[in-house]
Amino acid sequence: MASVIHYTIATEAEKYADFRRVLWTGKHTQLVIMTIPPDGEIGEEVHEDIDQILTFVSGTGEARIDGSTKAVAQGDLVVVPAGAKHNFVNTGPNPLVLYTVYGPPEHADGAVHRTREEADAAEESGEDEPPTG
């Protein structure tokens, strides 16, 4: 029997200012917390076979999905279906903090990337691959 896995997302967000930090990886889903600095963005991308659900903890920004734009703030939740072109942009003066659930996992278990540049480099080099089977 599995033990209770529990996070207080606001507390996790306060502890870490990393661009991306994988908190938990399961067989079918993955929990990741992200901090996008002012004037920063996740970067436009498409996950062909991965659904993504993002919940915003603090800050303000824009969700850009398949040509549509919607303002986002604390308490908002956005769904990105597999195959949708998307980007999330910080439009405010403070960090935009969110957590996201990928199904199936998208990143290496336990991955920590301090900056977007570090995250992009890890993806391009193949270091940031999700666990298999």
User: CATH no. for residue 67?
Assistant: 2.60.120.10
Q: What is the pLDDT of residue 99?
A: 96
Q: What are phi and psi of 85, to 5 degrees?
A: -75, 130
- Does residue 38 carry a pLDDT above 80? yes
Residue 107 predicted with pLDDT over 90: yes
Is residue 130 domain-resident? Answer: no
Q: Is the pLDDT of residue 1 over 70?
A: no
pTM of structure: 0.93
- For strands 60-65 and 30-36, give the pairing: unpaired
Residue 11: pLDDT band (50, 70, 90) is confident
Residue 132 lies in a domain: no
| Average pLDDT, integer, range 94-115 | 96
Count how many residues are written for the chain.
133
Give the total number of structural domains in the chain.
1
Considering the domain boundaries, does residue 4 fall inside one? no
Binned at pLDDT 50, 70 and 90, residue 111 comes out as very high
Query: Within a domain: residue 2?
Result: no
Q: Does some domain include residue 72?
A: yes
